[in-house]
Amino acid sequence: MPHPLDPPQQPSVEQIDALLPQTQCRQCTFDGCRPYAEAIAAGSADINRCPPGGVEGISALARLTGKSFKLFAIDAPQPKPRALAVIDEDNCIGCTLCIQACPVDAILGAAKLMHTVIVSECTGCDLCIAPCPVDAIHMQPLAEPREHSEEERARARAPSIPAAALSARTRRKSPTPCRAPKRATDQQHK
């Protein structure tokens, strides 16, 4: 049992990380939720830098760390409604830049083939939008925003498959491009 005069015990990185939404969005200016948790634990980052966590996240971090609650800075990213990435399949050129940018592997596709978003994996971080050279990705707000489940948070914390392993897997099972069925008028001209 701690002595009353002992300084309060600092929360662990794991405890802090467990409170973060695991969107890996980098809006806090760190490379993901874990590095932000490490900075909070080290005392080098404030608890109000996670827009996806919202005011509730700041409150939870304040209770855990014993720091005072304070709102987001005016010049910092602000909380916004949760959204999911949507790829315009007609415009996607299969460049794979969105796949490389996604911190939680929520985009499925292969080079020169159309890509799609795995809705259950997308955290709405927006990181796939900027690298798309044909503006084929937009964010669609959720009709009913919801909290990320603990299972979703755990999946986002897990290390992703290395790109080299992914590309080796793609080479072994090379998908065939989708072809549109022949129209009746095409068959008549042959």
- 123-151, pLDDT tens digit by residue? 999 999 999 999 999 999 988 655 666 67
Domain that holds residue 50: 13-65
pLDDT of residue 11: 95
Tell me, yes or no, whether 7 lies in a domain: no
CATH code of 135's domain: 3.30.70.20
Element (H, E) at 117: strand 116-117
Same domain, 45 and 126: no
Residue type at position 185:
T
For the chain, the domain total comes to: 2
- Do residues 128 and 88 share a domain? yes
Q: Both 58 and 125 in a single domain?
A: no
Q: What is the pLDDT of residue 166?
A: 40
- pLDDT category at 74 given cuts 50, 70, 90 is confident
Q: In the prediction, which pLDDT does 75 show?
A: 78
Q: Which tokens sit at 3?
A: 């002595």
pLDDT of residue 77: 87
Tokens 């802090």 label which residue?
A: 16
Q: Which residue has the tokens 């084929």?
A: 136
Out of 8-12, 161-165, 169-173, least confident range: 169-173
| Amino acid identity for residue 118 in this structure | I
Do residues 91 and 98 make contact, with C-beta atoms less than 8 angstroms apart? no
Q: CA–CA separation, 104 vs 20, rounded Å?
A: 15
Q: How far is CA 21 from CA 47, 55, 118, 120, 161, in A?
A: 13, 12, 18, 15, 21
User: What pLDDT is attached to residue 143?
Assistant: 80
The proportion of the chain whose per-residue pLDDT surpasses 90, expressed as a percent, equals 64
- Does some domain include residue 119? yes
Distance of CA 111 to the CA centre of its chain: 21
* One domain for residues 128 and 93: yes
Per-residue pLDDT at 175:
41
Q: Is the pLDDT of residue 41 over 90?
A: yes
Nearest to 132 by CA among 148, 117, 145: 117
What's the mean pLDDT in 182-188?
A: 44
The per-residue DSSP string of 56-89 comes to HHHHHHHHHH-PPP-PPPTTS------EEEEE-T
Quote the pLDDT of residue 64.
96
